[in-house]
Amino acid sequence: MTIQTESGESIFVTTRDPRQVGNGNPGGLIGFSIHDGTVGPPVIGGVPGFEYCSGNSSTSTSQLPTTSTSEGCGTITYPETGGVASIDNLQGGVTCEVAMGIAERYLNDTSLSHAGNTWSAEFDGWLCSVLTATASELEGHSLECADRSRGISFQAVP
C-alpha cells in the first residue's frame, strides 16, 4: 500500500489488514520511503515518516529489529537536548567515518536548512531527520540518514 507520510510518500507491505497500520496492527510490517521516484532501503516494523503518535497506535516494539549491522561507530550529541546516541545500523556499505561526518554536519552545521518537527535536512544527496519521541521509542533509534541514490543509510541509537 502507498501512503503519504509527514516526510513524503512511503510504501509498505504487511501480513495483516493494511488499513490498520499505525493503529495496533500486529502483523509483520516492512516500509520503504520513496524519494524522487526511488524506493529507499527497507524499515522492518515501521513505515518511514509515519507519525505513530497519532491515532490509537500500539505497535509492539517486539516486532522491531534488535540487531544492527555494526558495533557502533562513535557517539553524537544532540545540540538541543544534550542527549547522546551511538551511530549504528550501517547499511549498504557506508563507512563509520562517512556516517559520523554526515551526522555531525546534520546536527551542527548552521548553514543547513532544517524543516518540520523531524528537523529534516537534505544535503550532498543525504536526507537526515530526527524521529519524534514516540517514533523513536517504536523504531528503536532516534536519527536516520539515507542517501537513497546510493542505497546507503545509518541510524543513531540512544
Last residue of a domain, one of 30, 58, 86: 58
- Percent of the chain residues past pLDDT 90, beyond the cut: 38
73 and 116 fall within a common domain: yes
13 and 39 fall within a common domain: yes
Q: Range of 105's domain?
A: 67-158
100 and 134 fall within a common domain: yes
53 and 98 fall within a common domain: no
71 and 106 fall within a common domain: yes
The pLDDT tens digits of the residues spanning 86-125 come to 999 899 999 999 999 999 999 999 999 999 888 999 999 9
The more confident residue out of 29 and 70 is 29
The more confident residue out of 134 and 82 is 82
pLDDT at residue 50, as a whole number: 59
6 and 46 fall within a common domain: yes
pTM confidence score: 0.57
The secondary structure of the chain as a DSSP string is -EEEETTEEEEEEESS-GGGTTTT--S-EEEEEEETTEE---EETS-TT--TTSTT----GGGS----SSS--EEEE-TTT--EEEEEEEETT--HHHHHHHHHHHHH-TTS--BTTTTBEEETTEEEEEPPHHHHHHHT-SEEEEETTTTEEEEEE-
Q: How many domains does the chain have?
A: 2
9 and 45 fall within a common domain: yes
49 and 78 fall within a common domain: no
52 and 105 fall within a common domain: no
Last residue of a domain, one of 58, 76, 103: 58
